[in-house]
Amino acid sequence: MPSNPNIGDIVSRSGGQSWFYSDTVKDHFFNPRNFMRDESEYRDAAMGMVGSPACGDAMKVWISVDPITERITDCKWKTFGCGSAIASTSMMSVMVTENGGMTLEAARKLRPQDILARLGGLPARKIHCSVLGDKALRAAINDWYRRNGQPEKIEEEQGRVIDPETKVTDKDIEHAVLDGADTLEKIQAKLKVGVGHPECLPEVEQLIRFYREKYFGA
């Protein structure tokens, strides 16, 4: 038992930052639920993937669905990611399969905030990890509709172009805020948005405020 109750679970090498993980987060990290052990057993399952192992976090999600009720009966996942990504996706897999399983429409509306609430929160710098699972889930839902001849129900996530010069979208800004770029200066350093088209900067600032409040409450 640490003498100082304010000491975090993980402390940076400089000693200037501490991250706190709830008991639920640690439980799902050390004992992940529904982790994919053998992909060959799920060749016929609907699958969604987001991210890339080459650039960091990546996530795959497989779902089995009752074709009559369109409820998720099983959810497996695999990730190349950090402990927060593992815990949040483990929790997501529980949420979509418990109590008889979520319908596809309900699962599609699952938000990172819903997962965070069940986990008891994540460190601010790790909140972006909770977004991977629900995005991969929505991709898997699209794949299920595609496989089952319901293309009209597919909802592809597309970004709206904010800066026509750099082709930066609102989704790019959302991801950048989640990665810690929470000011205009940081966003511009990361995305070069508005450098050749400054007319878009007021909208960029508005989006930064919106996503900062959405994910961090400030």
Active site members: 55, 129
**Under a CB-based contact definition with an 8 Å cutoff, are residues 88 and 119 in contact?**
yes
Q: Is 206 helix (H, G, I), strand (E, B) or coil?
A: helix
Burial class of residue 55 (count of CB atoms within 10 Å of its CB; 0-12, 13-18, 19+): exposed
Residue in 62, 68, 69 with CA at minimum distance from that of residue 92: 62
